Chains A and B, each alone.
Chain A
Amino acid sequence: AQSVTQLDSQVPVFEEAPVELRCNYSSSVSVYLFWYVQYPNQGLQLLLKYLSGSTLVKGINGFEAEFNKSQTSFHLRKPSVHISDTAEYFCAVSKAAGNKLTFGGGTRVLVKP
């Protein structure tokens, strides 16, 4: 079985500052990795995904994440955040294409002016 741990439940950050959201996973098999964002009162939207290949993955809205197999991590980063990045971010894994997603508990990002 897989599990996902998001180490920070809340991350306050000032506008135009960088942010990193940490995600560690546990699995006995190779996994696919995802980051989703949930804006207030909206559904989940995919930011980026790692299936194979380059360990540095670029997503929408200037976000990127790096897959580290030895550390079983998939941390999300953005070099300069905007007020509009205020949202909840979820890391997720699946063990095969199209399989169920196992989510972490989420990290709430609050961007301050």
Chain B
Amino acid sequence: DTGVSQDPRHKITKRGQNVTFRCDPISEHNRLYWYRQTLGQGPEFLTYFQNEAQLEKSRLLSDRFSAERPKGSFSTLEIQRTEQGDSAMYLCASGRTEREWNEQFFGPGTRLTVL
């Protein structure tokens, strides 16, 4: 069990540029979640997958955000035409759907700074 990994750990970009983040979940986990955390706040749900199916997407998520999990393993989160308000820590978590495993394991996050 190597834990959830995220790449890159830090990303600095200019406003208007596109960015893509990657998350590798724990290998036997079928659910994968994306959250966003701004300074001084708790994490906010963005979207989640069960295997390759995207089951829920936050209504707060603008159309500039898209996430994929093409083979049910790793996932990518893309932000198009970044804005300064997108600056945040993007967290990925994974888990299993069995009732006794109702825990989400979090990765270290990708910190995005939009200049």
Contact partner of A97 among B44, B93, B99, B105, CB < 8 A?
B99
Interface size class of B (residues with CB under 8 A): 20 to 34
Q: Complex: how many Å from CA A102 to CA B46? A: 11
Whether A97 pairs with B45 at a CB distance below 8 angstroms is no
Task: Known contacts A42-B108, A43-B91, A43-B107; decide if A101 and B45 are in contact (CB<8 Å).
Answer: yes
| Chain B residues whose C-beta falls within 8 Å of the C-beta of A57 in the assembled complex | none
Partner of A100, one of B4, B41, B48, B107: B48
Q: Is B25 an interface residue (CB 8 A)?
A: no
Interface residues of B in 77-115 (CB under 8 A from A): 91, 93, 95-99, 102-109
Task: Tell me, in angstroms, the Cα distance from A100 to B42 when the chains sit together.
Answer: 14
Chain A interface, >50% SS class:
strand
One of A11-19, A45-53, A68-76 at the interface: A45-53
* B31 close to A (CB within 8 Å): yes
Q: Please indicate the chain B residues that have their CB under 8 angstroms from the CB of A42 in the complex.
A: 108
Interface members, chain A 63-113 (any B CB < 8 Å) = 90, 92, 94, 97-98, 100-106
What are the 3 tightest A-B residue pairs by CB atom distance, in nearest-first order? A103-B42, A44-B106, A100-B45
